Amino acid sequence: MELFDFLGYIGALIIGIVLGLIGGGGSILTVPVLVYLLAINPVTATAYSLFVVGASSLVGAVKNMQKKRVAYRTAIVFSIPAFIAVYITRKYIVPAIPEHLIYIGGFEITKNIGIMLFFAFIMVLASVSMIMERKEKPVSTEKVKYNYPLIIIEGVVVGVLTGIVGAGGGFLIIPALVLLAKLPMKKAVATSLLIIAIKSLIGFIGDVENLEIDWPFLLLFTAISIIGIFIGIYLNRFINGKKLKRGFGWFVLLMGLYIIWKELF
């Protein structure tokens, strides 16, 4: 096994550990690990990321179901527009993106560079969400009235973003669940994992029809990530999750800026 392959599998373990420790955000590392350590094409990497993110989120969602933290009706209402959008994005929009996008001052931005730059922009947004602390709002006793037009728009936006970059989009889903569905933070985080699992795995189905999937590699990478989740859950007893999340947010910000620099210069 070559050094970069070994580091790639260590990266898979770290992704899982971060997910287990802070409950989200770790999946944003999946595409950089696949592209820069394992030399996988960005389009294929975003597809593999959807599977890894979906399977990992499903593990987290099942654990939260056992603790009765998941709001199922809210999950269904949010999931439907999101999974339709992510499936259409992976099946039709991503394959339709031209290989040569634009020339700027003699520099060509290709499809692969464009995807990585867009991914880096999403990383920067996600890092800001992790660095800024959200205050827990008091639980509303009112019956939830779903703002369906806003939920559909949110679901479509999250679905398209997830489809393009292969990340879960929890930093967009959780605030929407708190603001639009009036869920308390812990329940919003738990419910977001189920939504992410559903839309990511359905989005990946769109890729199965378009790409040649290296199943032995993908299943091994995913299994290592899931092992990491359980290690992270165990370590969570000894580590302050909030401080860790902010620290990881700064790391993701630096990683996003590094990707922009690497792709452009």
Report pLDDT for 253.
92
Tens digit of each residue's pLDDT (9 = 90 or more) over 173-198: 888 888 887 888 778 888 888 888 89
- Judged against a pLDDT cut of 90, whether residue 214 lies above it is answered with yes
Query: Per-residue pLDDT for 140 more than 70?
Result: no
Question: In this structure, which amino acid lies at residue 211?
Answer: L
The model carries a pTM of: 0.85
DSSP 8-state code for residue 70: -
**pLDDT at residue number 247:** 85
Adjacent-strand bridge partners of 103: 108
Which range has the top average pLDDT, 69-83, 144-158, 211-225? 211-225
- Which parts of the chain are beta strand (E)? 100-104, 107-110
Average pLDDT rounded to a whole number, residues 89-114: 89
pLDDT at 235 exceeding the cut of 90: no
Q: What φ, ψ does residue 182 adopt, rounded to 5°?
A: 55, 35
CA-based nearest residue to 173, from 190, 148, 186, 192: 192
Q: What are phi and psi of 168, to 5 degrees?
A: -70, -30
Residue type, position 99, single letter: E
Question: Are residues 68 and 214 in contact, defined by beta-carbon separation less than 8 angstroms?
Answer: no
Radius of gyration for the chain, computed over Cα atoms and rounded to the nearest angstrom: 18
Other C-beta atoms within 10 Å of 230: how many?
A: 14
Per-residue pLDDT band at 170 (split at 50, 70, 90)? confident
Sort strands 107-110 and 100-104 into parallel, antiparallel or unpaired: antiparallel
pLDDT at 244: 81
